[in-house]
Amino acid sequence: MKKIAVQFTVEELQALLTLADNQLFRMKFIDPKIPGYRNRPDELRAAQSAVQTLQESLNKEKGRVPKTQGGAALQLVPKG
């Protein structure tokens, strides 16, 4: 998959992360209850990856250390 680079202010990145995280929540928990819903696991995995990338970028910019468990950084692993 081709990667691209974009530049955001910290405030723009925070706003984008909030929007993306809210949309991911909708995709995971609300959309499946709507009649006619079609499961799209690849789209959900891509959305989870995008939110994780945005969160890591924001944390890095703010100087935050990733949360760890037993010395290893936690990572979201999509089911599928």
Provide CB contacts within 8 A for 47, sequence distance 6+: 20, 23, 24, 27
Residue 28 falls inside a structural domain? yes
Average pLDDT over residues 20-40: 95
pLDDT over 60 at 70, yes or no: no
Domain count, the chain: 1
Average pLDDT over residues 56-64: 90
Confirm whether pTM is higher than 0.85: no
Residue 5 falls inside a structural domain? no
Question: Quick check: 10 and 58 in contact, CB under 8 A?
Answer: yes
Question: Quick check: 21 and 51 in contact, CB under 8 A?
Answer: yes
Would you state the pLDDT for residue 1? 78
Average pLDDT over residues 1-9: 89
How far is C-alpha 74 from the chain's CA centre?
Answer: 14
Would you state the pLDDT for residue 75? 53
Residue 34 falls inside a structural domain? yes
Please give the angle made by the CA atoms of 67, 48 and 9, to the nearest 5 degrees.
70
